[in-house]
């Protein structure tokens, strides 16, 4: 796996610029264990590098493992092939010269600040900085994306790939995210814009290394390792908890609910840290790790089926044939480049849930109450 700077890297650039005080706090935290999603991402990145830089075929990697993740033909079909097809859209004439998985940094201008750029290249007078995103989660925007700008700024200063920027008049920051609604996103910017970002980054790192760096909470807190010990978050949680429930009016309730995602994320990070410490043998007073509820599973499916047949169970008792869900059918059809006929499925909500006013979904009708109000007006 690529090494990471413990000051700032591509994925932390946004947070460090917004909250320079987070750097020293995050440095005190234990390294986070890898996750299944991170391992899958690492495997996908090395397959892309193998294909693009070493003329391997994606199938050569089937069976490779990292942690609990194994490269399967399905992974190749759902993530690697679409990523390669997306690259063909960007460079249909195969004109691009490029370097994959380049370690890029700022040299003596900003010591120990570096990252690994997935692909740095050049087509005509345009430099390319490309990032593969193999996660299934949030659709990542590319415009003014601090991670992309970090790699572009670092690559411009890295002798091994600086050729891509020599006399370039534009820089294309590209995100290829095979499972996103828009799998290819391109933001064309200029060397001047990247240099302006670099000044902002340098100022934030300088402040972070100084005596009293500023702190600011916001959506950049989401991936901050220092969340469980962050004074801004613990302060906000404290203030919310100390509010007397008897005296809360609706307006104050709304304000408190706005804090809810931040508090939930804070609590999740505290739980994750406690679990990590316990797993590493560090006692957390009052808590222990226990096994999750066990569910029985067949030791061997074929042997179990044969044994149960011998005991007299017929196929209708042994096997459950179930129609796949609309989402699963849609995924299967997508592979055949077909759309799910709209009239086959209907979205049924299981009930109402609380959402902020800004949520794009319309407010749910409280039919009983609104009907009673309407009838009340008639009578």
- Min CB(3)–ligand SF4 separation in Å: 22
Which residue in this structure is represented by tokens 């909500």? 349
- Return the number of other C-beta atoms located less than 10 Å from residue 281's C-beta: 6
- Min CB(29)–ligand SF4 separation in Å: 10
Query: Judged by CB, which is closer to ligand SF4: 110, or 230?
Result: 230
Query: Judged by CB, which is closer to ligand SF4: 25, or 69?
Result: 25
Cα 8 to Cα 22: distance, rounded to the nearest angstrom: 10
- Min CB(209)–ligand SF4 separation in Å: 15
- Min CB(210)–ligand SF4 separation in Å: 15
- Min CB(115)–ligand SF4 separation in Å: 18
- Min CB(88)–ligand SF4 separation in Å: 38
Interface positions with ligand SF4 (CB under 6 A): 15, 19, 21-22, 25, 215, 217, 220-221, 224, 226-227, 230, 232-233
């Amino acid at each position: 796996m690529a090494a990471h700077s413990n000051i700032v890297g591509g994925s932390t650039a946004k947070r460090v610029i917004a909250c320079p005080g987070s750097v020293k706090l995050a440095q005190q935290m234990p390294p986070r264990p890898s996750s299944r999603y991170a391992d899958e991402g690492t495997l996908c990145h090395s397959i892309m590098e193998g294909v693009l830089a070493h003329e391997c075929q994606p199938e050569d990697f089937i069976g490779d493992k990292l942690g609990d993740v194994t490269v399967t033909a399905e992974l190749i079909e759902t993530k690697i092939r679409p990523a390669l097809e997306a690259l063909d859209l960007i460079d249909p004439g195969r004109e691009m010269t490029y370097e994959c998985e380049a370690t890029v940094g700022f040299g003596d201008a900003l010591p120990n600040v570096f990252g690994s750029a997935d692909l740095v290249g050049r087509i005509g007078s345009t430099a390319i900085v490309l990032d593969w995103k193999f996660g299934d989660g949030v659709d990542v925007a590319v415009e003014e994306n601090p991670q992309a700008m970090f790699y572009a700024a670092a690559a411009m200063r890295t002798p091994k790939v600086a050729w891509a920027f020599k006399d370039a008049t534009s820089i294309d920051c590209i995100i290829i995210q095979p499972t996103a609604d828009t799998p290819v996103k391109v933001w064309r910017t200029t060397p001047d814009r990247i240099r302006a970002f670099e000044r902002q980054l340098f100022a934030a790192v300088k402040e972070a290394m100084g005596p009293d760096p500023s702190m600011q909470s916001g959506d950049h807190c989401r991936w901050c390792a220092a969340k469980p010990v962050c004074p801004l978050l613990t302060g906000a949680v404290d203030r919310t908890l100390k509010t007397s429930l008897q005296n809360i009016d609706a307006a104050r309730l709304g304000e408190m609910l706005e804090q809810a995602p931040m508090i939930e994320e804070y609590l999740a990070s505290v739980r994750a840290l406690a679990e990590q410490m316990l797993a590493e043998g560090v006692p957390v007073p009052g808590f222990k790790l226990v096994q999750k509820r066990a569910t029985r599973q067949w030791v061997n499916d074929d042997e179990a089926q044969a044994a149960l047949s011998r005991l007299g169970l017929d196929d209708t008792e042994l096997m459950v044939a179930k129609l796949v869900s609309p989402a699963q059918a849609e995924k299967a059809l997508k592979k055949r480049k077909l759309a799910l006929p709209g009239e086959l499925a209907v979205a049924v909500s299981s009930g109402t849930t609380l959402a902020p006013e800004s949520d794009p979904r319309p407010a749910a009708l409280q039919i009983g109450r609104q009907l009673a109000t309407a009838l009340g007006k008639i009578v």
